[in-house]
Amino acid sequence: MWRRIHAQISYGVLAMPATAPPRTAALPDDPATLKSLVREQAFEIERLKEELRLARHKQFGASSEKADAGQHQLFNEAEVLGAEAPAGDGEEVTVPAHKRARGKRKPLDDRLPRQRIEHDIPESEKLCPCGSGQQRPRIGEIVTEQADIVPAKVVVLQHVRFKYGPCRQCDGVFPAARPTTVDASIAAIGSTNEPQAIIIARAPAQPIPKSLAAPGLCAWIAMSKYGDGLPLYRQEAILARYGLSISRATLAAWMIRLGELIVPLINLAEEVQLGYDVLAMDETTIQVLKEDGRAAQSDSRMWVRRGGPPGKPVVLFDYDPSRSGKVAWRLTQDFKGYLQSDGFSGYDAVGKREGVVHVGCLAHARRKFDEALKAQPVGNRGGLALEGLMLIQKIYRIEKAAREAKLSPEQRKQLRDSQARPVWAELRHWLDAKRGQVPPQMLTGKAMTYLDNQWPQLVRSLDDGRLEVDNNRCENALRPFVLGRKAWLFSDTPAGAEASARHYGLVETAKANGCEPYAYLRRVFTDLPKATTLAEIEALLPWNVARPATQSVAA
């Protein structure tokens, strides 16, 4: 299809039957009007060519925004040197040197369990060759390490609860009737203050009552789906291979029940997140098949919020059928501070609310210039798209230097004031001078319009060193969901989508706080059912849980 369209656009005509007569009668007779019509048609053809080149690049080209190896030939010598230097135009951005050991493997993690396998020489070689008959003394050992893996295995946990009856001497003296079955004895426990004829050890609290799913199995399924993007139908086959036959419908029901279990943790994490004055938001599509009043093909939304104070990062997901600004308003109604997002108009109302300062995303502006550059003919790329992109890259080089130097927020603000602020001023001057030189319908014109419209929000990153110049961290938090969506494609019901949102939030928050996700989920699914106080639930928040050693995972 795109080949045919390309041919039509290249010749500036639409495909018409060979017998169709030329439509010369529709052309104007006035030369000036005719020239104007030709210019309009030529512009439209060029615009369509640009869109076609970009579409072909998105389909067949590299998705990275980094320049390819051959792009340097587009620049002259001075621009090449300026682009390859740590900073341009007199800027001094110190980037720490990186030293890479050559010929040495990265050592294995000290937290991994070790199994010592000893290798000794034969007994005949232990005698000293001097002829004394004495054995050689051991003077040391050489240790080399290899990584091995023990595949997953299904283990059946038998919970044995001992049952006790009355002693022989007091048999029959209890006022309450003696239960005759285990279930009856369980029901009798706690129903009266009088002593019971039969008592049974209490059953441990389970993440899913009356289910065969132990906490470890629950954690494995949840992590496989929401951390590793493994759909439930694949997990069904994997479990069957290990000897455990469970339908995907049962697995889905477990995930919904577990999503309900972790609601208290999600609520506490949300309080911490909204209590801090820096928050980032983004959203992506999700398809839910069985939703009242909506076609199965309709696109719903998965919203993500990333925030929280230093040392307590929180990533939360929320499902909603709508992309309306009302959703953004609802999710931030208790928030005051800096809200960072892309240029989606749904955030505009929140940004105008008292106590909220809207911060933009420079990555979206950069992406539009990058797309405009890629839409140009190969071998003839440059112009205003390249100029705008290079100015934005100067800002990113300064940000990279600050990140690699691990500057504090105060130090980063000072660096931005001294080095980034002049570049922003240069970018603004360039935009004002060049914006009228390209039609707004072209991709470069669209990129410049976006940059101009978002400018007040973009420069706010200069006001506080805690702010990022873009929303990439929040977008990266969405990446596991997007990768998983490619595998499982859709959610069956809104309840499943809401449960997925909670699980994704818990997994991503655990990762952001340095917890190994599986070990953390196993801890949550083991201890949360037993928690009866607020303090016990708060103790399970990721930043309150010491980073689990890998040994606990192997155990």
Q: Are 223 and 188 in contact (CB under 8 A)?
A: no
**Residue 507: which of 242, 262, 145 has the closest Cα?**
262
- pTM score, two decimals? 0.77
DSSP secondary structure of 155-214: --------EE---STTTT--SSPPP-SHHHHHHHTTT-SSPPS-EEPPPPP-SSTT-S--
Cα–Cα dist 497/500, whole Å: 5
pLDDT in tens, 13-26: 444 444 444 455 57
What's the sign of the alpha-carbon dihedral 551, 264, 330, 272? Answer: negative
The predicted structure's pLDDT at residue 109: 87
Looking at 72-86, 333-347, 412-426, 456-470, which range is the least confident one?
72-86
pLDDT in tens, 25-80: 577 777 777 777 777 777 677 777 667 766 776 666 666 555 444 444 444 433 33
Task: Copy the structure tokens of residue 45.
Answer: 């053809």
pLDDT in tens, 222-247: 999 999 999 999 999 999 999 999 99
Question: Domain spans of the chain?
Answer: 167-203, 215-267+488-554, 298-475
* Mean pLDDT for all residues in the chain: 82
**Residue 373: which of 291, 438, 287 has the closest Cα?**
438
pLDDT in tens, 288-335: 888 888 888 888 999 999 999 999 999 999 999 988 899 999 999 999
